[in-house]
Structure 1
């Protein structure tokens, strides 16, 4: 008696699910919705920010005043394909990767 009622309780929800292609598509819908939300909230803005940073790095020129990821302000004195030399004080130059530059400052910021 106890076993037959257990089978009856599990069989009813399985029959109500409908099965088939439509049931499997409806069960995948929440996962697709979560992925779409994550794409528009997290992935897409990050890709846009990377694209803007790459364009800023490509547009650097000698004499630009920039700020680095470490917070140093300096003027570009020499440029290479991968590296930049910054003058951070009179007769003090440092060499760093181009990707370490996070922003270009307005002209005459450094005095």
Structure 2
């Protein structure tokens, strides 16, 4: 009976700290292993880059036009999702009419 509060604290610690952290690490490793050429990424140092070449344990990324650096695959912190701005999407739709008076 004395150890019941201690067991409860350990269980809560595992549930709220260790389990979510291991899940994030697993997702990060999965993302790093599924990189492909042309992906926009952010390195763990905060540098935005485009993947140009993938090798076993490292990738070559382009950080500026013509500037390619070789980094460890583990240095890739996240993949940048390409979002199309809704306003741009409306302007690019085929058959869109420019703003102005309509003629009937």
TM-score by length of 2: 0.76
| Structure 2 unaligned spans of 5+ | 85-104
Q: Deviation at 1:90?
A: 1.2
Q: Which has the higher Rg, Structure 1 or Structure 2?
A: 1
Q: Quick check: 1:65 aligned with 2:65?
A: no
Instruction: Report the RMSD for the aligned CA atoms in angstroms.
Output: 1.6
Number of aligned residues: 84
| Structure 1 unaligned spans of 5+ | 1-25
More helix per residue: 1
**Dislocated runs of 4+, deviation >4 Å:** none
1:89 corresponding residue in structure 2? 64
TM-score by length of 1: 0.71
Where do residues 31-50 of structure 1 align in structure 2 (5 Å cutoff)? 31-50=6-25
